[in-house]
Amino acid sequence: MSAHSDTLGLKGFSHWFMLKYQEENAHAMKFYQYILDQGESVKLAAIEQPTSEFENPLAMFEATLAHEKKVTQHINELVDATVTDKDYATQIFLHWFITEQIEEEATVSEIISKIKLVGGKGDGLFMIDTQLGQTTATLQKI
């Protein structure tokens, strides 16, 4: 989505998606390190190639929101398993991700609302692009 935004000349959108990519890698590393800290082996599997072209910026953010909701569902399923297994340490670990998902879904929903408000084009889209370009990353301890 970052590359596609860049090809559209939406440098702010590209910047925002690249920051999210980096943030998601950090989240994956939290799981990686937690698994190792629990004395388990990490087994990485291939992931499906993501879609690389979208009809418009709104479609990119709608796909992003759908993905975030899918991630939330998976985290909830993991929490359910920890409750069943009385795995309290992992419940505490996953709590951070539950809170993070609430924030992620709210942020993307807000961007979708703004894009819809401006009709997805023109000066309004330029303003959203500028705003997203000013987003800064917060480095998280792994």
The whole-number pLDDT of residue 142 equals 45
Q: Is pLDDT of 11 > 70? A: yes
Q: Determine the average pLDDT of the residues in 14-33.
A: 95
Angle between helix axes 11-37 and 122-133 (nearest 10 degrees) is: 40
The whole-number pLDDT of residue 107 equals 96
108 C-beta neighbours (distance < 10 Å), count: 20
Q: Is pLDDT of 6 > 90? A: yes
**Distance between start and end Cα atoms, the chain:** 25
- Report which residue type is found at 83: V
Answer yes or no: CATH 3.40.1180.10 is held by domain 2-41+53-133: no
45 C-beta neighbours (distance < 10 Å), count: 4
pLDDT in tens, 69-119: 999 999 999 999 999 999 999 999 999 999 999 999 999 999 999 999 999
pLDDT in tens, 47-77: 899 898 999 999 999 999 999 999 999 999 9
**Whole-structure pTM value:** 0.91
Phi–psi pair at 113, nearest 5 degrees: -60, -40
Which tops the pLDDT comparison, 62 or 142? 62
